[in-house]
C-alpha cells in the first residue's frame, strides 16, 4: 500500500497516482482544474470544531492528532475505501495547510498505514 501526502498548491506530478483532497473546506485561491483532484473526500477531514480549535498550532499537535484519530474511528467505510484504493496503486492525500508536519494528512496517512484490528464479537 502506497500513501503519500502533498500540499494541494504544489504542482501535480505523474507519481502522485490517485489524488484525494482531505480538507473539509476547498483551498483558497486554487481552481478545481489546477488542483487536479480526483476525489474530494471532505467528510474525512477533521470536524470544523476540531480544525478551528487546532489552528495549526504545533503546541496543540498531540491533542489534535489524538482527537482526530478518535473522529476517524467513526469513519470506517471511508478509511476502507482509501485502503482499497491504495492497494490498487499509489494515492496522494492532499491538504492545504502551510505546515508540512502538523496537518490532518499526516495523521490520516499514519492511520491508513496501520493494520486494521479485528473486531471483537461478544459471546451470546
Mean predicted lDDT score pLDDT of the chain:
91
Q: What is the pLDDT of residue 114?
A: 72
Q: What is the domain partition of the chain in residue ranges?
A: 3-113
Angstrom distance (rounded) from CA 75 to CA 25 = 18
When pLDDT is cut at 50, 70 and 90, the band that residue 116 belongs to is low
Q: If you search the block for the grid coordinates 482499497, which residue do you land on?
A: 84
Q: Are 18 and 38 in contact, with CB atoms under 8 Å apart?
A: yes
Q: If you search the block for the grid coordinates 501535480, which residue do you land on?
A: 12
Q: What is the pLDDT of residue 121?
A: 44
| Mean pLDDT of the 64-75 span | 96
| Mean pLDDT of the 85-107 span | 95
| Mean pLDDT of the 45-65 span | 95
Q: Are 41 and 60 in contact, with CB atoms under 8 Å apart?
A: no
Amino acid at each position: 500500500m502506497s500513501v503519500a501526502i502533498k500540499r494541494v498548491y504544489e504542482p501535480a506530478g505523474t507519481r502522485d497516482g490517485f489524488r484525494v483532497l482531505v480538507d473539509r473546506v476547498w483551498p483558497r485561491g486554487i481552481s478545481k482544474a489546477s488542483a487536479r483532484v480526483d476525489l474530494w473526500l471532505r467528510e474525512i477531514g477533521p470536524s470544523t470544531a476540531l480544525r478551528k480549535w487546532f489552528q495549526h498550532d504545533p503546541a496543540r499537535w498531540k491533542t489534535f492528532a489524538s482527537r482526530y484519530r478518535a473522529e476517524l474511528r467513526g469513519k470506517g467505510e471511508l478509511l476502507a475505501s482509501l485502503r482499497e484504493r491504495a492497494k490498487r496503486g499509489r494515492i496522494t492525500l492532499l491538504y492545504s495547510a502551510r505546515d508540512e508536519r502538523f496537518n490532518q494528512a499526516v495523521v490520516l496517512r499514519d492511520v491508513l498505514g496501520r493494520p486494521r484490528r479485528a473486531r471483537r464479537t461478544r459471546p451470546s
